[in-house]
Structure 1
Amino acid sequence: MTTKDRSLRALGLDDVPAKQPLTYPGRPTTEPSLLTGSELLHLGVRPLRLGEWYVEEREESQRLDEALAGLGQVGTGRRHPVIAVGSNASPGQVAHKLTRLGIPATVPMVPVRVRGIGVGCSGHISPAGYVAGTPYVDPAAETTLVVTWLDSTQLKAVDDTEFPDYRRAILPGDAFGMTMPSGERLGAAYIYFSAHGVLADPATGEPRPGGGDQSALLAALLADSAALRELLGPDPATWVRRAGAERSLREQGTLLFGKEGWVLPQTDFLPYADESDELRLYDDLPPLDDSLPYRG
């Protein structure tokens, strides 16, 4: 029998940045897990494919693919690995995105070591009012990022929350090493990258680091721009309240990022961009971990 409360609330992973913008990007899972609605079950890693790992915290351990089948969900071989660089690594945000649409929030979520990807800040203000994260290509970077395994319905739902501000790319494993906790390497995975470019640090001209405290980020942006202070200031709480309530303010703020000279274009992902009908065709889209298998 399980003795530990694995609810998102008990684990401190129930933040929903879409509802509480200053909590962005939310708290990511730090261990291989299976999200099942309001619970996050631990996955026992084995030196085998993901579907052979064990779901723990149950009355009796089951292989992941068996557990998914028991929940009426497709197995890992029919799912799409998607690298998260922002709130899609947060179980609370993922559960919110799916359950509000009536889609089962049953998603394997695994921290994976990814080579060649840095995490920055998108050059736009999101509908919730925060400045979201975006990946950028950095050959020297090696970062642990959460990979979610989505079925086709879940993938479409997440796409709809990202488009048109983000585009989806297919990262090949030979160009971007992706190492699972088991030591296996992914042959490929999807990633969303901003259509608005990456915010630069005014002092260095390099991408401004993303994924940190949203209040600190917004405070820094306000400090660096009198025009932003006038539009959305004087503080982060005012920023997200005003920007989240009025589209025109978000659009003006996004334009100001460009006028301040802060936006670096996103071109490195274009050779990998997935052009499957603006991210909306799925019937003929094979799961990546079948079409491009794991590599040892």
Structure 2
Amino acid sequence: MGSVAGTDCGDFAAAPWLYPGTAAPGSGLLRGDGYHRARPRPGAGLGAARLDGREDSTLDEALCRAGVAGVGDRHLVVAVGSNACPAVVRRKFTAGNVDTTVPFLRATVVGIAVGHSAHVSVPGYVAATAFRRPGTRTPVFASLLDRDQLACLDATEPNYTRRTVTADECRLEIDGGQRPASFGVYVSKWGALAPPGAPPLRLRSQEALFAALLRHCAGFAALVGRRPHEYRSAMKALAGEADLRAALRQSFAASGWAARSGFDG
């Protein structure tokens, strides 16, 4: 069992440069302050995954003992940003007064890539978003959420729309061999950051992203006006100025830096 506490506590308000946080170490179950690793069983259902150190315990049995919904009564949602970080999910659900017991599944999604949303979040970082990219194979984590958890997560994502994606559009391959018929994914309402006429930028650290935008995006450089090594100061300034964040979002859209995600309609 691993702890979800520590220096990477998912508090991006204090340290936005840590976004998107540390992803889960592998498939497992978030419960309380601990993360219990799980091993999917090839050819078996998702609920049959074995918890490490508990050969007699499956994921579904652990959920039953916790008094929460089993795998069959949960919604599968692919995380493309900080929702792959158990500490972030625990923080969100604690704040929303919903249960924090969440299974995470390591997977690969085919046909979806991960980039950055064409807006700046309230804490000052540029968050992730999914976009369609046929043929691309992207390692991801998917969480299994009950109804209340899903509603709580939706409420924490005001800049995103949760899309339902079917297997004939994009395929999700979960470790252990499961291929679900559909899954949810959050897509930015503002588009994906992309140089005009080019594919969206792939997800990278905030330091690398700010450096790239200062070099190549004139609108960003004009509004932010800081050198690459001062990106933390820039993020703090953005966190404190709603008008500046809005101006950047409008600049991305006006200058052609906001590309369609491919999930429209």
**What is the TM-score normalised by the length of structure 2?**
0.91
Cα–Cα, structure 1 residues 100 and 57, in superposed 2: closer, same or farther, change >3 Å?
farther
Deviation at 1:121, TM superposition (A): 1.1
Deviation at 1:124, TM superposition (A): 0.7
**Do 1:6 and 1:39's aligned partners in 2 also have CA atoms closer than 8 Å?**
yes
Residues 1:237 and 2:255 are matched in the alignment:
no
Other structure's SS at 2:2 match: coil
**Do 2:10 and 2:91's aligned partners in 1 also have CA atoms closer than 8 Å?**
no
Provide the aligned C-alpha RMSD in A: 1.9
User: Among residues 161, 173, 176, which one is paired with 1:167 in the alignment?
Assistant: 161
Aligned to 1:102: 97
Other structure's SS at 2:163 match: strand
Deviation at 1:30, TM superposition (A): 3.7
Aligned to 2:170: 176
Provide the rounded CA distance (Å) in 2 between the counterparts of 1:147 and 1:91. 11
Deviations 1:30-55 (A, max 9, x none): 41111113211101221211111122
The residue type equivalent to 1:114 in the other structure is V
Other structure's SS at 2:83 match: helix
Deviations 1:148-174 (A, max 9, x none): 1011111111101112x1111111112
Which sections of structure 1, spanning at least 5 residues, go unmatched?
272-296
**Number of residues paired by the alignment?**
261
1:56-205 paired onto structure 2 within 5 Å: 56-57=52-53, 61-163=56-158, 165-201=159-195, 205=198
The residue type equivalent to 2:220 in the other structure is L
User: Among residues 200, 207, 229, which one is paired with 1:207 in the alignment?
Assistant: 200
Deviation at 1:230, TM superposition (A): 4.4
The residue type equivalent to 1:54 in the other structure is R
**What is the TM-score normalised by the length of structure 1?**
0.82
Aligned to 1:6: 2
Deviation at 1:237, TM superposition (A): 1.0
Identity %: 34
Deviations 1:195-248 (A, max 9, x none): 10111135x7111111x2111101221233454334334131122111112211
Other structure's SS at 2:208 match: helix
Provide the rounded CA distance (Å) in 2 between the counterparts of 1:225 and 1:139. 26
**Do 2:219 and 2:255's aligned partners in 1 also have CA atoms closer than 8 Å?**
no
Provide the rounded CA distance (Å) in 1 between the counterparts of 2:245 and 2:60. 43
Other structure's SS at 1:193 match: strand
Aligned to 1:20: 15
Provide the rounded CA distance (Å) in 2 between the counterparts of 1:45 and 1:66. 14
Other structure's SS at 1:257 match: helix
Provide the rounded CA distance (Å) in 2 between the counterparts of 1:167 and 1:101. 19
Provide the rounded CA distance (Å) in 1 between the counterparts of 2:170 and 2:222. 42
**Do 1:112 and 1:181's aligned partners in 2 also have CA atoms closer than 8 Å?**
yes
Greater strand share, 1 or 2? 2
Provide the rounded CA distance (Å) in 2 between the counterparts of 1:86 and 1:200. 17
Provide the rounded CA distance (Å) in 2 between the counterparts of 1:13 and 1:130. 16
**Do 2:106 and 2:174's aligned partners in 1 also have CA atoms closer than 8 Å?**
yes
Provide the rounded CA distance (Å) in 2 between the counterparts of 1:264 and 1:142. 20
Aligned to 2:242: 247
